[in-house]
Amino acid sequence: MAVAHASIGGARVALSPPLAALRDAALVALVAMALAGPIVGLQTLDRGGQLTVDLRFTEVAIGIVLVFFGRLGLALGERGLPVPAYGIGAALIAAGFLLPWPAGLLQVLSVAAGVALVLRGVAGQVGAHRAAMARAPTDEDDARAERLRRLFTKGLGALLLVAALLLPLMPFANSYILDTAIRVLTYMMLAWGLNIVIGLAGLLDLGYVAFYAVGAYTYALLSKDHGFGFWGALPIAGLLAASFGVLLGFPVLRLRGDYLAIVTLGFGEIIRIVLLNWTSFSGGPNGIGSIPRLTFFGHPFVRNAPEGVVPFHQLMGIEFSPLHRSIFFFYLILVLALIVNVFTIRIRRLPVGRAWEALREDEIACRALGINPTNTKLTAFAIGAMFAGFAGSFFATTQSFVSPESFTFLESAMILAIVVLGGMGSQLGVALAAILVIGLTEAFRGLAEYRMLVFGLGMVLIMVWRPRGLLAHRDPTVLLHGRKGVTR
């Protein structure tokens, strides 16, 4: 049981666990009051052209009380007092359902904090019990655990694939659900591409959205000004994005860690600012509109097509529905994402993939083994950028409009968050994180301006619960002497 100390008259006095927990909770509540008071308590509103200040001190006070009791329950659990922690958790859940709340967000936070306290207490007790019963794992235990992990991964992956294939056929699959699923798959494809750079090669890239923009503008310009179709422009967009990846790779070959992150962040901003100011080329802040939409091999998804063109529903002999286009786009991005996934899994076993993993673990050892770090980094940047270019082309044809506002740093941060939350190097973890991250933002859309607050809280909880990601897996793909020789 942890014992805290307080300084009284220059002498350190040991505090009992409940007093130490109360002190921690009070300090955290003070910090919350200092932060939330001016940010949430004072909100400017435009009433009839006059700027006024709306006071929300009641909501702030209730929020600080929630923070106090949440931290108190957490501190009591950490100090070996699970029963009071469970009591506080249950009280928060009951208060969330029974008491009247001035804002729906506070009610959600109360219930979420109570559930988190109970779950954390149960998980801590189960972990302590397992630690007490634990024995030194044998090689057979390791092999069994590895088999179970692989079985779980394959089973979950197959389940997700079947669910994705059947989604458009479900009776509840309306336009909103399909558009959200398309958005999830687009981010999943982007995150799988970034996973090559960060998860496999260990290169921190904060400007990944720049390659996404290159692909989108390439398709927009080729299709609108030069009459290219989607399938003709797709490889060109990928190759051009890969070329930009090589251009970015050359100046940063000698950089690592934070320095590399700063340079890539600057590269992403340079691309966005160039697109914003080069009006004659990119349309500037107005962007490029009326981009031709993708058709089904020349058959558009419209009710009435121009003379001589057969629309999709007449070709199939079915009644026209606006869902046909969404279903086609859904399966198209699903196929593109699966191609990226299969390509990444296969290339990990090739020499270049093993070189990425070796570079991630120790660049000096790579040089000693004769691996060329320059070529290794460039291939990672180029292939990751190529997948972003493909995703950008798909984005341009589905939206029929591109502008620099679609490629801000927030997009890079979102893709990076998906990779980190899923577990760097884990394909399945990235897929789960994409569903969770995009799903959370859509599920809490009703909370308006507080949506990103809840989203950030969810990310913090995941990082506390799983600091290495949902499905962290950084073991080398290919081992020289089997798994026995690997230090975990």
| Contact in structure between 245 and 271 (CB atoms under 8 Å) | no
- What confidence tier does 446 reach under pLDDT thresholds 50, 70, 90? low
- Which CATH number fits the domain that encloses residue 353? 1.10.3470
| Contact in structure between 469 and 420 (CB atoms under 8 Å) | yes
Domain-located, residue 152: no
Domain-located, residue 447: yes
Domain-located, residue 313: no
Indicate if 118 and 185 belong to the same structural domain: no
Structure-block tokens of residue 176? 């909103």
Domain-located, residue 484: no
Burial of 299 (0-12, 13-18, 19+ CB in 10 A): middle
**pLDDT average, residue stretch 147-163:** 84
Nearest to residue 293, comparing CAs of 400, 189, 370? Answer: 400
| Contact in structure between 198 and 357 (CB atoms under 8 Å) | no
pLDDT at 252 over 80: no
Question: What are the φ/ψ torsions at residue 43 (nearest 5 degrees)?
Answer: -130, 130
Please give the residue that has the higher pLDDT: either 109 or 475. Answer: 109
Please give the residue that has the higher pLDDT: either 476 or 258. Answer: 258
Amino acid, single-letter form, for residue 120? R
Domain-located, residue 138: no
Indicate if 260 and 366 belong to the same structural domain: yes
Nearest to residue 291, comparing CAs of 385, 406, 438, 189? Answer: 406
Domain count, the chain: 2
Indicate if 210 and 335 belong to the same structural domain: yes
Return d(Cα 175, Cα 29) in angstroms, integer: 44
Residue-wise pLDDT for 65-88, tens only, equals: 888 888 888 888 888 888 888 888
Domain-located, residue 460: yes
Indicate if 30 and 179 belong to the same structural domain: no
Domain closes at, from 79, 109, 132: 132
pLDDT at residue 447, as a whole number: 63
Q: Which region, left, alpha or beta, applies to residue 103 given φ > 0 means left and ψ of -120 to 50 means alpha?
A: beta
Residue-wise pLDDT for 345-399, tens only, equals: 888 888 888 888 888 888 888 888 888 888 888 899 899 999 999 999 999 999 8
Return d(Cα 126, Cα 12) in angstroms, integer: 34
The reported pTM is: 0.73
Return d(Cα 309, Cα 301) in angstroms, integer: 11
- What confidence tier does 122 reach under pLDDT thresholds 50, 70, 90? confident
Indicate if 103 and 179 belong to the same structural domain: no
DSSP string, 143-211: HHHHHHHHHHHHHHHHHHHHHHHHGGGSTT--HHHHHHHHHHHHHHHHHHHHHIIIIIT----S-THHH
Indicate if 225 and 123 belong to the same structural domain: no
Domain that holds residue 332: 175-304+318-465
Indicate if 127 and 180 belong to the same structural domain: no
Indicate if 216 and 111 belong to the same structural domain: no
**Range in 119-123, 140-144, 188-192, 474-478 with the lowest mean pLDDT:** 474-478
Domain-located, residue 179: yes
Indicate if 119 and 207 belong to the same structural domain: no
pLDDT at 486 over 50: no
Which residue(s) pair with 7 in the sheet?
A: 12
Indicate if 120 and 194 belong to the same structural domain: no
Indicate if 216 and 364 belong to the same structural domain: yes
Indicate if 344 and 424 belong to the same structural domain: yes
Domain-located, residue 471: no
